[in-house]
């Protein structure tokens, strides 16, 4: 019995440490100068734009890595968009997202056409839930 408990405890520790390692390593392959991250209790999302830095009136893509936290799963689907809440409009272009496996994605076709505050929006669909993550960007 003690051995079973110890075994289960060991498994739990191992799982937790795997998640911790994953979170610590999440997106490390992305350009450190451009890398940004968004944390929620369930996921850590790391992204880097290319070409960088983000510029007004230029198409760009995002390299994205999503790492699950606290027992969450990798998203089944990821949508990427952007909007300007203060102006009540979004982008004039529809971004596409390619799934590369192991939590890696490539979004293409983003375009910010106006100076001011934008939100980059990431809709993650995992474990039957939809989670929206956002990151603010100020463009001159």
Partner 1 sequence: MSFVCTRRRIAGLVLSMLALLTAAVSAQKIEFSAAERSRILTHGPWPPAPALDPGNAWAGRAEAIALGQRLFFDTRLSPDARLACASCHQPALAFADGRARSLGRVELERNAPSLWNAVHERWLGWDGAADSLWSQALRPLLEPRELGSNAAQLRRWLAQDRDLACRWAASFGTLADDDKVLLVQAAKALGAFVGSLQSAATPFDHFRDALAADDGPAQARYPASAQRGLRLFVGRGRCHLCHSGPRFSNGEFADIGAGFFVRPGQVDPGRHGGIQDLHRSEFTLLSHWADAPGETALKTRHVSPQHRNFGEFKVPSLRNVALTAPYLHDGRVPTLAAMVRHYSELDLDRLHADGERILEPLRLSGDEQADLQAFLRSLGDAGARRWQRPVLPTCRR
What does the per-residue mask of binding to partner 1 show for 71-90, with x meaning CB under 8 A?
-------------x--xxx-
Q: Does 140 participate in binding partner 1 (rule CB under 8 A)?
A: yes
Q: Among residues 49, 46, 51, 55, which one has the least CA distance to residue 78? A: 46
Which residues from 96-125 bind partner 1, rule CB under 8 A?
96, 108-109, 111, 113-116
CB 83 to partner 1: min, Å: 10
Could you tell me the two tokens for 42? 């369930």
Q: Does 16 participate in binding partner 1 (rule CB under 8 A)?
A: no
DSSP-derived secondary structure for 2-36: HHHHHHHHHHHHHHHHHHHHHHHHTTTTS-TTT-E
| Among positions 7, 53, 57, 71, the unique one binding partner 1 when judged by CB under 8 A | 57
| Among positions 64, 95, 97, 120, the unique one binding partner 1 when judged by CB under 8 A | 95
Could you tell me the two tokens for 128? 């039957």
Q: Does 53 participate in binding partner 1 (rule CB under 8 A)?
A: no
Binders of partner 1: how many residues, by CB under 8 A?
20
CB 46 to partner 1: min, Å: 23
Number of Cα atoms under 13 Å in the Cβ half of residue 69: 15
Q: Among residues 70, 86, 81, 78, which one has the least CA distance to residue 12? A: 70
């Amino acid at each position: 019995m003690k051995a079973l408990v110890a075994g289960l405890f060991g498994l739990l520790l191992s799982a937790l440490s795997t998640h911790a390692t994953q979170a610590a390593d999440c997106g490390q392959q992305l350009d450190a100068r451009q890398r940004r991250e968004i944390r929620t209790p369930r996921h850590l999302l790391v992204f880097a734009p290319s070409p960088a830095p983000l510029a007004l009136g230029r198409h760009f893509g995002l390299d994205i890595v999503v790492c699950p936290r606290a027992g969450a799963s990798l998203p089944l689907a990821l949508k990427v968009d952007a909007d300007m809440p203060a102006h009540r409009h979004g982008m004039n272009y529809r971004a596409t997202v390619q799934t590369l496996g192991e939590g890696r994605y490539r979004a293409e076709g983003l375009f910010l056409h106006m100076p001011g505050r934008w939100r980059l929006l990431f809709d993650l669909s995992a474990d039957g839930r939809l989670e929206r993550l956002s990151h603010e960007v100020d463009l001159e």
